[in-house]
Amino acid sequence: MNGWVIFALVTLIAVLLIKGVPVKLVRSAGQGMIKITIGVLFLFFFNLFGASFGLHLPINVFTAIIVGLLGIPGIASLTAIHLFVL
């Protein structure tokens, strides 16, 4: 079983080296990862400063994507959901 996995990975790498990786795909994936990282940083600092007010938002993939895409309005909406719904 492990032999097939290694063979598939080596074949995939060889095909990508010969054909090339689409630049648009790599660029969009990189921008998405940067937005998610910024979302995690926003959540971290929000939790750091919000602890004095009793506010805490969990840092997970869902909240990081919401805050990464929406920015400050994303933090505000998650805070409102946390305060009024949960």
What distance in Å separates the CA atoms of residue 24 and residue 2, rounded to the nearest whole number? 32
pTM of the model: 0.71
Instruction: Please report which confidence band the pLDDT of residue 86 belongs to, taking 50, 70 and 90 as the band edges.
Output: confident
Q: Dump pLDDT digits (tens) for 5-23.
A: 889 888 988 888 888 777 7
What distance in Å separates the CA atoms of residue 34 and residue 69, rounded to the nearest whole number? 10
Q: Dump pLDDT digits (tens) for 22-67.
A: 778 878 888 999 999 999 999 999 999 999 998 999 999 999 999 9
> Could you tell me the residue ranges of all domains in the chain?
22-85
Instruction: Please report which confidence band the pLDDT of residue 79 belongs to, taking 50, 70 and 90 as the band edges.
Output: very high
Nearest to 75 by CA among 53, 50, 51: 50
